[in-house]
Amino acid sequence: MDKQLVSPSYRPLYEQIKVMITQSLIAGEWRPGEAIPSEFELAARYKVSQGTVRKAIDSLSAENILIRRQGKGTFVATHNADVIKLRFLRLTSVTGQKELLQNQFISCEKGKANAYMAKTLQIKAGASTIEIKRLLTFSGRPLIYDQIIVPAAPFKGLKGAKVEEWNGSMYSMYESVFGVRMIRAEERLKAVGADRETANALGLKEGFPLLSVERVSFTYGDKPMEWRLGLCLTDDHHYLSELE
Amino acid sequence: MDKQLVSPSYRPLYEQIKVMITQSLIAGEWRPGEAIPSEFELAARYKVSQGTVRKAIDSLSAENILIRRQGKGTFVATHNADVIKLRFLRLTSVTGQKELLQNQFISCEKGKANAYMAKTLQIKAGASTIEIKRLLTFSGRPLIYDQIIVPAAPFKGLKGAKVEEWNGSMYSMYESVFGVRMIRAEERLKAVGADRETANALGLKEGFPLLSVERVSFTYGDKPMEWRLGLCLTDDHHYLSELE
DNA sequence: GAGTGGTCTAGACCACCAA
DNA sequence: TGGTGGTCTAGACCACTCA
* Coil vs helix vs strand at B105: strand
Task: Tell if the CB–CB gap between B210 and A209 is shorter than 8 Å.
Answer: yes
For residue A184, which of A82, A100, A77, A83 has the smallest C-alpha distance?
A77
pLDDT, mean of residues B114-130 = 97
- The pLDDT-based confidence of A102 (bands split at 50, 70, 90) is confident
Query: To the nearest whole number, what is the mean pLDDT of chain A?
Result: 90
Name the phi and psi angles at A148, rounded to 5: -125, 130
Domains and CATH numbers, chain A: 2-76 (1.10.10.10), 91-239 (3.40.1410.10)
CB A45 within 8 A of CB A164: no
* Angle, in degrees to the nearest 10, between helices B39-46 and B50-62: 110
For residue B134, which of B126, B124, B144 has the smallest C-alpha distance?
B144
Is pLDDT above 90 for A110? yes
The DSSP element (H or E) to which A60 belongs, if any, is helix A50-62
Give B226-242 pLDDT, tens digit per residue.
999 999 999 999 999 99
Give A144-203 pLDDT, tens digit per residue.
999 999 999 999 988 776 777 787 789 999 998 999 999 999 999 999 999 999 999 999
pLDDT of residue B5: 39
Is pLDDT above 70 for B222? yes
Q: Which residues contact B90 (CB under 8 A, 6 or more apart)?
A: A241, A243, B187, B239, B240, B241
**C-alpha pair distances (Å), A207 with each of A190, A213, B195, B200, B210:** 14, 17, 15, 19, 12
B85 interfaces chain A, CB cutoff of 8 Å: no
**Nearest CA distance, A237 vs chain B (angstrom):** 8
- Partners of B62 on chain A (C-beta within 8 Å) are 62
**Nearest CA distance, B207 vs chain A (angstrom):** 8
- The pLDDT-based confidence of A6 (bands split at 50, 70, 90) is very low
Q: Which residue's alpha carbon is at the shortest distance from the C1' of C4?
A: B71
Give B162-214 pLDDT, tens digit per residue.
777 787 789 999 998 999 999 999 999 999 999 999 999 999 999 999 999 99
pLDDT of residue B82: 64
Is pLDDT above 80 for B39? yes
pLDDT of residue B167: 72
pLDDT of residue B4: 37
Q: Please indicate whether residue B208 or residue A92 has the higher confidence score (pLDDT).
A: B208
Q: Please indicate whether residue A138 or residue B162 has the higher confidence score (pLDDT).
A: A138
Question: What CA–CA distance (Å, rounded) separates A111 from A147?
Answer: 13
Query: Smallest Cβ distance to A186: which of B187, B189, B242?
Result: B242
Task: Tell if the CB–CB gap between B186 and A243 is shorter than 8 Å.
Answer: yes
Per cent of chain B over pLDDT 70 is: 92
Strands (E), chain A: 35-36, 66-69, 73-76, 91-93, 102-112, 128-138, 141-151, 182-193, 209-219, 223-232, 237-243
Q: Is the CB of B4 under 7 A from strand C?
A: no
pLDDT of residue A96: 65
- Partners of B237 on chain A (C-beta within 8 Å) are 190
| Whole-number distance in Å between A219 CA and C15 C1' | 34
Per cent of chain A over pLDDT 90 is: 76
- The pLDDT-based confidence of A1 (bands split at 50, 70, 90) is very low
Q: Which amino acid is at B6?
A: V
As ranges, strand D nucleotides with an atom below 7 A of a protein CB are 3-11, 14-18
Q: Which amino acid is at A150?
A: V
- The pLDDT-based confidence of B1 (bands split at 50, 70, 90) is very low
Q: Please indicate whether residue A9 or residue B22 has the higher confidence score (pLDDT).
A: B22
Is pLDDT above 80 for A232? yes
B2 interfaces chain A, CB cutoff of 8 Å: no
Strands (E), chain B: 35-36, 66-69, 73-76, 91-93, 102-112, 128-138, 141-151, 182-193, 209-219, 223-232, 237-243
Q: Which amino acid is at B223?
A: K
pLDDT of residue B87: 87
**Angle formed at CA B114 by CA B111 and CA B118, multiple of 5 degrees:** 100
Question: What CA–CA distance (Å, rounded) separates B185 from B165?
Answer: 25
**Angle formed at CA A186 by CA B147 and CA A198, multiple of 5 degrees:** 75
CB B159 within 8 A of CB B108: yes
Q: Please indicate whether residue B58 or residue A3 has the higher confidence score (pLDDT).
A: B58
**Nearest CA distance, B188 vs chain A (angstrom):** 5
Question: What CA–CA distance (Å, rounded) separates A204 from B134?
Answer: 33
pLDDT of residue A4: 37
pLDDT of residue B103: 87
Q: Is the CB of A72 under 7 A from strand C?
A: yes
Q: Which residues contact B193 (CB under 8 A, 6 or more apart)?
A: A208, A209, B206, B207, B208, B209, B210
Residues paired with residue A240 on neighbouring β-strands, in sequence order: B188
Question: What CA–CA distance (Å, rounded) separates A209 from A206?
Answer: 9
Other C-beta atoms lying within 10 Å of the C-beta of residue B4: 7
Question: DSSP string spanning B147-205?
Answer: EEEEESGGGTT--HHHHHH--S-HHHHHHHHH---EEEEEEEEEEEE--HHHHHHHT--
For residue A122, what is the DSSP state? T
**C-alpha pair distances (Å), B176 with each of A196, B30, B80:** 50, 13, 8
CB B119 within 8 A of CB B212: no
- Partners of A209 on chain B (C-beta within 8 Å) are 191-193, 207, 209-210
| Whole-number distance in Å between A35 CA and D5 C1' | 13
- The pTM of this model reads 0.90
Query: To the nearest whole number, what is the mean pLDDT of chain B?
Result: 90
pLDDT of residue B85: 64
- Partners of A143 on chain B (C-beta within 8 Å) are none
Q: Across chain A, which distance is largest between two alpha carbons, in Å? A: 64
Chain B 77-106 contacts with nucleic strand C (CB below 7 A): none
* Angle, in degrees to the nearest 10, between helices B13-27 and B39-46: 100
**Nearest CA distance, A244 vs chain B (angstrom):** 5
B242 interfaces chain A, CB cutoff of 8 Å: yes
Query: Smallest Cβ distance to A184: which of B185, B211, B243?
Result: B243
pLDDT of residue A3: 34
- Partners of B232 on chain A (C-beta within 8 Å) are 191
B127 interfaces chain A, CB cutoff of 8 Å: no
Q: What are the strands of the beta sheet with A141-151, ordered from one edge?
A: A102-112, A128-138, A141-151, A223-232, A209-219, A182-193, B237-243, B91-93
* Coil vs helix vs strand at B97: coil
Question: What CA–CA distance (Å, rounded) separates B45 from B38?
Answer: 11
| Whole-number distance in Å between B9 CA and C10 C1' | 30
- The pLDDT-based confidence of B161 (bands split at 50, 70, 90) is low
